[in-house]
Amino acid sequence: MRGRPTFVIGCVLVAVVFVVALGSLIWLPYDPADTSGGRLVPPGGAHLLGTDKLGRDLLTQLMVGARIALTVGVGSVLLGGALGVAGGLLAGFATRWLDDLLSAALDILIAFPTLLLAMLVVAAREASLGSAVLAIGLAMSGIVARLTRVLVKRVLAQDYITAARTSGASWPRVVAEHVLPNIWPTLLVNLALQLGLAVLAEAALSYLGLGPPPPNASWGRLLQEAQATVLTAPTGAIAPGVLLVVLVVGVNLVADGFRDLADPTRRRSR
Amino acid sequence: MTPVLAVEELSVRRADGHELVRGVSFTLGPGERLGLIGESGSGKSLTALAVMGLLPAGMTAGGSVLLGGTQVVGAPGRRLDRVRGRTASVVFQEPLTALDPLMRVGRQIAGPIRRRRGLRGPALRAAVLAALSEVRLPERVARAYPHEISGGQRQRVAIAMALACEPEVLIADEPTTALDVTVQAEVLALLDGLIAGRDMALLFIGHDLAVVAGVADRVVVLKDGSVVESGRTRDIVREPRHPYTRSLVDSAWALEGELDRLAP
């Protein structure tokens, strides 16, 4: 860990949001639907960060929002990562025509705008936490699959794969011992970056009203609701924005740290 | 004596039908040393890969390759897994890419030993250290990653891995081309000694006549995918019949002559 201040800072930033999200499960200053606080109360006193235009406590909303952001982020990375890595491995090992077919499918999936995909999913299901995870996860799986495919192809072309094959190692063993360990560092870094992007995507969906509906207080929806009163009550817009930046920057710094930790050729050079 | 490797009329075709190797035939008896020489693009390395049944995707082999009695051409993968590493193993040209960059050297050597001899735990550890000392590498190399050791050391590791399979034939595909000249001589001497001690057959692939002549009893000269000449190394160096072989021999002498001129 020493000599890696950015990784430590990233961990701290992510940990702050994690603690807030976990804390929201145990204790909240007010009920998220409690509108008794008076409209647009400035920060301080009974309401540490003030209230919004409906009189709900902003700190409460932000804490619930942290939980939503992390749930969607982690959920869509799990879904997109599982689908993407499986598809990418398949394409990486596939024969010509299957590889071409999968690659074409991936290109179409990637070319499809995430928001449009999200609208389709929301239209087919409903605006919910699950829909947001599904939409963002699906969009992510294309990118992860294409990366996995390239990584697998690159590793398979290496002499050490041929060397392992010439010494009599079977394909499953080669995949477990050589292919996965060699693509894992890059994949892990990418998945961590995707987590940051997923959090932003969820905020964007919620901003457009396609995210989880109230009383799920998403940061994106808080931003949208605070838009009208940004000049009179700036805290309502600034606080969720700052939290978004804290989480996304934290996740990206952690991703950079992962890269250094996972790759022994970099570990020494520091 | 039945040959451990018998190649007959071997051909290698690209997917578009273009023939990269044509009608290559040679045999290798137990303990024999054969050199396969030719310029880059002459089909030497493809011949070696075809012998192992490991041609790149899209290429197909024709003819016959009998490796330890098993027909390699057209054989299913599972049957080849049993032949590879038992009958033949390979040392590649570029030792950096022939070793997994993310795996410690000791574990990489342990792989073939475990598969071949079924050793586990302390016995496996001891065998790995023995394999390292055989190629004159210190024990600490076992804990190193490939990028932490020198090119010559890496090639010794690759040789240790290939020998750990205890194959009947060792295929060395330009094993010293990527090394410094001084290191090259050391590695060649090491390879020579290790093979002699095991009564192992050697298929040595190279483009440098002086190097190939130093290790091989017989040579096959390849040009543009076909055999232009083959025979005992000594005969070919003394009396090359084909113009291409003659140019190989002449240029080898020319280099020698240059040294003689500078240091009479």
Domains in chain B, please, with CATH? 5-98+167-262 (3.40.50.300)
Q: Which of these, B164, B150, B165, B156, lies nearest to B88 by C-alpha position?
A: B165
Residue B143 binned pLDDT confidence (cut-offs 50, 70, 90): very high
Strands B88-91 and B201-206: unpaired
Q: Which residue of A has its CA nearest to B58?
A: A96
- Range name among A47-51, A262-266, B87-91, B230-234 with the lowest pLDDT average: A262-266
pLDDT at A214 over 90: no
Cα A161 to Cα A166: distance, rounded to the nearest angstrom: 9
pLDDT of B236 above 60: yes
Q: What percent of chain A has pLDDT over 90?
A: 38
Q: Give, to the nearest 10 degrees, the angle between helix B44-52 and helix A159-166.
A: 40
Backbone φ and ψ for A3, nearest 5 degrees, come out as 75, 10
Residues of chain A with a CB closer than 8 angstroms to some CB in chain B: 95-96, 158-160, 162-171, 177-178, 181-182, 185, 263-265, 268
* A129-143, B71-85, B88-102, B130-144: the lowest-pLDDT one: B71-85
Q: What is the pLDDT of residues A59-88, one digit of tens each?
A: 888 999 999 999 999 999 999 999 999 999
B19-28, strands of its sheet edge to edge: B19-28, B5-13, B60-67, B70-71
Give the CATH number of domain A5-19+60-265; options: 3.30.450.20, 2.10.25.10, 3.10.450.50, 1.10.3720.10.
1.10.3720.10
DSSP string, B139-203: GGGGGS-GGGS-HHHHHHHHHHHHHHT--SEEEEESTTTTS-HHHHHHHHHHHHHHHHHHT-EEE
pLDDT interval class at B264 (50, 70, 90): low
Confirm if A245 and A10 have CB atoms less than 8 A apart: no
With contacts defined as CB-CB under 8 Å, which chain B residues touch A165?
A: 52, 54, 84
pLDDT tier for residue A268 given thresholds of 50, 70 and 90:
low
- The predicted complex's ipTM stands at 0.75
Cβ contact, residue pair B54, A171, below 8 Å: no
Residues 6+ apart with CB under 8 A from B105: B99, B141, B142, B143, B144, B145, B146, B149, B157
Cβ within 8 Å, pair A160-B84:
no
Neighbouring residues of A243: CB distance < 8 A, sequence distance ≥ 6: A17, A62, A65, A66, A69, A219
Confidence of residue B110 (pLDDT cuts 50, 70, 90): very high
Q: Over pLDDT 90: what percentage of chain B? A: 32
- Mean pLDDT value across residues A199-221: 86
The stretch B225-240 carries a mean pLDDT of 89
For residue A267, the model assigns a pLDDT of 60
**Best residue in B67, B81, B102, B155 for a mutation probing chain A (most A CBs within 10 Å):** B102
Q: What is the pTM of this model?
A: 0.77
Q: Is the pLDDT of residue A3 over 70?
A: no
Q: Mean pLDDT for chain A?
A: 87
Predicted pLDDT at A2: 56
| Whether pLDDT at A24 is above 50 | yes
Chain position carrying tokens 């390979």 = B90
Does the pLDDT at position A198 exceed 90? yes
Q: Taking residues A122-144, report their average pLDDT.
A: 91
Per-residue confidence (pLDDT) for residue A270, from 0 to 100: 40
SS3 at position B60: strand
Distance of residue B108 Cα from the nearest chain A Cα, in angstroms: 9
Residue of A47 and B186 predicted with greater confidence: B186
To the nearest 10°, the Cα dihedral for B184, B187, B188, B191?
Answer: -160
Chosen for mutation from B55, B79, B91, B100 (greatest number of chain A CBs closer than 10 Å) is B100
Mean pLDDT confidence for B155-163: 90
* Extents of the domains making up chain A: 5-19+60-265
Least CB–CB distance from B90: residue in A163, A181, A265: A163
Q: pLDDT band at B179, cuts 50/70/90?
A: confident
Chain A nearest-CA distance from B99, in A, is 5
Nearest-angstrom CA–CA distance, B73 and A14: 56
Q: B14 and B38 in contact (C-beta within 8 Å)?
A: no
CB contact under 8 A, B115 and A168: yes
At residue A269, does pLDDT exceed 60? no
pLDDT over 60 at A209, yes or no: yes
